[in-house]
A and B are shown apart, each in its own frame.
Chain A
């Protein structure tokens, strides 16, 4: 499963006399330390509500991944599709550490290694229901045992 990612960051007016144009080469997303392609892709659109529970987990826990597969590179894309004002946003973080806020139309892309169950991706809706789209590329996730 060869998946590639590329980012560009431009600005015509950030620095006078020098247009910003960050454009690194295309990156092929692979398993950690090797050139093997990733196995799985999970994607979807989720309505994130406020209230109980306030924090939601996105993606599997380390113990839900097979063998050593948890401590490898996964890649996560999230976009907040809300069109509401700045009182609506998604807090995102890793475990109990809130790192940033995705306002209307904002997106993020990070590599993510679930080193243990305390490294899970958490999201929380603020202001009201926010709808996100997400895509997670990883490998060897096993489904939890049914109750």
Chain B
């Protein structure tokens, strides 16, 4: 069993007059499969990055491209969200539905990792 420690920091000096500056962390037990930090070239065709063979997991995604957006979808056909250039996401995932990624255009690279609890 390993310990995974994700930390998110959000900051803004002008979102509101109340200064935004907080950091949140967690300590997650990882006991099953891991897809270590990986980087794949995407096209406009679906690429499955999260198969349904996984159980409860945590997913990290980052669009490493400077201009091209990457679409993230759930394999039941519903759209999920779009990672614009440079953006990242971190979320819990049940593994009951697969995760696919494809580019809005061109061939951007997606960095990702999956940690099964």
Contacts and interface: CB of A to CB of B under 8 A. Distances in A.
Q: What interface size band does chain B fall in?
A: 35 or more
A101 B4 contact: no
Contacts of B9: 4-7
B8 A22 contact: no
Contacts of A100: 56, 91-94
B7 A7 contact: yes
A73 B12 contact: no
A27 B86 contact: yes
Interface residues of A, number: 51
Interface stretch (A44-52, A58-66, A106-114): A106-114
B60 A22 contact: yes
Contact of B78 (A30, A77, A94): A94
B91 A3 contact: no
A28 to B, nearest CB: 8
A12 B15 CA distance: 35
Contacts of A137: 15
Contacts of B40: none
Interface in A43-101: 73, 77, 79, 92, 94-101
Nearest to A34: B84
A1 B15 contact: yes
8 nearest A-B residue pairs (beta carbon): A100-B92, A3-B12, A108-B91, A14-B2, A110-B89, A97-B78, A100-B93, A41-B15
Given A7-B6, A7-B88, A110-B89, 20 more contacts: A4-B9, A4-B11, A4-B12, A6-B8, A6-B9, A7-B60, A10-B7, A24-B62, A24-B111, A27-B86, A77-B24, A92-B91, A94-B79, A99-B80, A99-B91, A99-B97, A100-B92, A108-B91, A109-B88, A111-B87
Interface of A: 1-15, 20, 22, 24-25, 27, 30, 32-33, 41, 73, 77, 79, 92, 94-103, 105-113, 115, 119, 135, 137
